[in-house]
Structure 1
Amino acid sequence: MALAREDSAVTQRAFLTGARLQLSRLQLDAGLPRLYQQLTAISAQALGVARVGVWLFDFSAQLVRCECLFDESGADAPPPLPMQPIKNYIDAVRELRFVATADARTDPHTSELTAYLERWHITSMLDAAVYRNGQVVGIVCHEHVGPPREWKVEERQFAATVADLLSHFLEVDARIAAQTQAHALELKLKDAHRLDALGRMAAGVAHDLNNLLTVITNGLAVLRCGGDAEVMTEMEESARHAAALVSQLMSLGRRQTPVATVQPLDPLIAQLESLLVPRKPESVRLVIDVEKGLSVWADGAQLIQVFSNLVTNAFQAMSDGGVALLRAHARRGGVTFEVIDTGPGIAEEHLSRLFDPFFTTKASGHGIGLAIVQQLVIQHGGEVKVSSAVGDGTTFRVWWPSHVPG
């Protein structure tokens, strides 16, 4: 008889070990409800009990709710239980971590559950606390139907393992929910910024277009009265500015595929310089220091557009004069460009939004130019960054590939 009992104990330990292996394979991918079903079924089979339930505390309603029940007879989950009438039972689970009782109806820790126990013919209970963030938030209940049952040490340990695993998954689920909520809030905040920027951009563009159209309208009125060539020149200039503004908006709204080839940089810099010199204010000194003999993979017109925009911004930043420096040198399979000005610099809180469409720190700007710069650089497989400090000027760094990316 002793040998038979020993064989039985060995068999049960092996069975519980196999059940632990099954538990270790559980995943949260299908969600908590599916996880509850798998966990309670494995636990019921491993311990040979009729019922296993996952009960979680609803503190706001002061109820204990059965989130999932495995019942060998197919019974549905029971209704919630009020917390106050079973306070001693809940306190016992909190203090002891688990409650193991052979006669649940007479045990002082579980006698408050007598009506529930009689309803489902439960005699013995092995219940373990479920934690989240260090607080007991529920119970895994193993309920035995039949003659009173003494719970062995390895069975208690297994019940604790089940509860610990469930605690882990509840914490993971809570973290995922918090991250999802934070991400949704971040998206809402970004949308709010976009709408704010769009509103400011629309107001600015409408103002500028209205001014340009006013010049044209007034000019037409003058021409009707025999106006001169100077009026015609003003009208043409206003029309060009209006067309340029519309062109910028259209460029930002569509993805421009670069017609790029590997080509020498020197001729492109020469073209760029010829464009920049006429725009340079008298009080600003332009310095170009570009390593000779470099090559870039580029749509030449778009590369010139990028650095024409950046250097022109540098000119505009130095209303009291200063130095605008454009330099370039070979670096890690490409060319690193730097556009540096000695202007007043940019406040730290503005740096992260500098490339956002329609964000601008200029009184008369639209915030389109730098967004286009970033778009063109990225489309070539490059990257653009900015560093600045108030009173210390601004530096834009652009890495541009020398060969076809990838």
Structure 2
Amino acid sequence: MDKEKNESVSLKEDPNRDHRKIGKKLKFFVFSNRVGAGLPLWLPRGTVFRKNLEEFLIDVQKKSGYEMVVTPHIGHKKLYVRSGHWSKFGEDHFKPIHTPHKKEEFLLKPMNCPHHCEIYRSQEWSYRDLPKRFAEFGTVYRYEQSGELHGLTRVRCFTQDDAHIFCTSDQLLEEFKKVINLVFYVFRSLGFLTYTVRISLRDPKKIDNYIGSEINWEKAEKAILKAVKEEKIEASINYGEAAFYGPKLDFLVQDSLGRNWQLGTIQIDYNLPERFDLYYKGKNNEKCRPVMIHRAPFGSLERIIAIMIEHTKGNLPLWLVPNQAVILPISDKYIVYAKKILNLMLNYNIRVFIDNRNEKINKKIRDSEENKIPYMIILGDKEEKNEMMSLRRHGLGHIGIFSISNGIESILNETNLKTKTIKLL
């Protein structure tokens, strides 16, 4: 609660950063009382933003050996009883869904990990097959109290950039360190260069809050401490902040208002593999229990989008923004030339459109600035005759007249700089 108070004070100091206000103005998302509180509706522009984040992480994960999976939005109640989520998170679940005939009980999915355990369990694995890395943008549902809901940062329906790694004990340390480096890469790419790291362990005075054996917890906690030491990471230790099934490493980023947000998390879990009776065949054909790593660099798409909007004041980096450029013909006389440039830019996958409204050019420029569109391409008589384009940059104004190829190249060069620091305004 104290954290939320600090956030609200910061936004009062600069209300123009409020992601709810900016998101509505830029037509990213809306909420509807008819749909329900805490259930965002994503508009076309916001959907492009989400998809860009997804594609970025999918690309990073593919290069790191992850395989994408998809699981249902519901699961049998027995699944979550077995995993322990039913008893530990009972109050945060929506009430069970009862089937009309057999009276079975299903739940809206509160977590993705039980489903991923069942994916692993669907096949037999050898030690040669491991590690297996299953990733999913899985939408989950939790019943937040109405007074706790806040824009996209506290919702009842959110999409986790979830992944679960099943590995041998010998692979655990190396896999954990690989995830640490992936999280740091994601933070740099999104412009979050100031962050702290927190080791979250059990509360030794409240052992009943956790599942699993003492031996497994000791192994998991030692593995995290060793990984942090070997990676030479400064981290605080917080007792009582571990997940009920295992200890974790949490990453808190600092935004341009000086607020700290927990985003990335990595967790070591010896317990769910036991509960789901997961195994692989060892070198001597014996049954061995895998270790499970839970990880989510973003935390949730909704939360990170809200943070990025407020962090940048809505001035998103070019590679993420829904509309990268707009073509502004001075009059209908230049529509044909505008379409020629449009088609060339689309060939390079630049997200561009033509503003052919019956408005004066100053009005179109002003609207494009308010919509925070990075590049404006002004076309008139001089540009058409010389096969040129006049470029404006959001927040900077006129930056020059370019040939078509040089103008496109200039935009592409900035688009490809994914690890460039986001400019804070």
TM range (shorter): under 0.3
Q: Identify which of structures 1 and 2 has the higher relative contact order when contacts are C-alpha pairs closer than 8 Å and 6+ apart.
A: 2
The structure that has the greater radius of gyration is 1
Instruction: Give the TM-score normalised by structure 1.
Output: 0.20
